[in-house]
Chains A and B, each alone.
Chain A
Amino acid sequence: MDFMNFMDQDFDVKLSKAVKEDTMHEKMKEEMKEKMNDNMTDKMRNDMINELRPLAMAYIPMQKWGTIYDPAKGLKQGTIFPDLDFPFLGREMSSK
């Protein structure tokens, strides 16, 4: 399986599957097998996946369905997704 095929919403699911099924790129597979275990938390897994991503390859995490604004607020904000609501402030953002 080509590494690029992992770049979608089921990234880590496919990654774990590929590791188990031996369908990954040899070099990555070795690295993954070395580090992966069943007791890993989601965060550890994500950190590891991030570490293994090649340099200079852009990646946008897939959006997940969550709560949405009511339609009136959505129209005002320009998005019904609170996850994507980043108003332009004209200054540096501090964490929420």
Chain B
Amino acid sequence: MTEKEEMLFNVQKYRFALIDIAMYLDSHKNDKEAMETFKKYGKDYLEAKKAYVDKFGPLMHSDLIGESKWTWTDAPWPWEV
């Protein structure tokens, strides 16, 4: 796995964990342990995403909010990687 792949995988795995815990929380909204885990992986997700975006460019349009230049089209498209 290249460094880029590994960093993208980190974003994906935390993002997936967040989605799965979110669905659990939808039906168990007062579960403290689930909420703590959501927060923990939420932090990991944000860190992993920031690390990736800083190094390899935006993953979503919203990553460009706060940027002065539109770099969305600079990075290779998924099929060019």
Contact = CB atoms under 8 A, between A and B. Distances in A.
Contacts of B24: 63, 65, 81
A10 to B, nearest CB: 11
A71 B34 contact: no
Interface residues of B, number: 17
B52 to A, nearest CB: 15
B37 A68 contact: yes
A9 interface: yes
Interface of B: 9, 12-14, 16-17, 20-21, 24, 27-28, 31, 33-34, 37, 41, 44
6 smallest A-B Cβ distances: which pairs? A71-B13, A71-B17, A75-B13, A75-B16, A80-B20, A72-B13
16 contacts: A9-B27, A9-B28, A63-B27, A65-B24, A65-B33, A68-B17, A68-B37, A71-B16, A71-B44, A74-B17, A75-B9, A75-B12, A75-B16, A75-B17, A80-B17, A81-B24
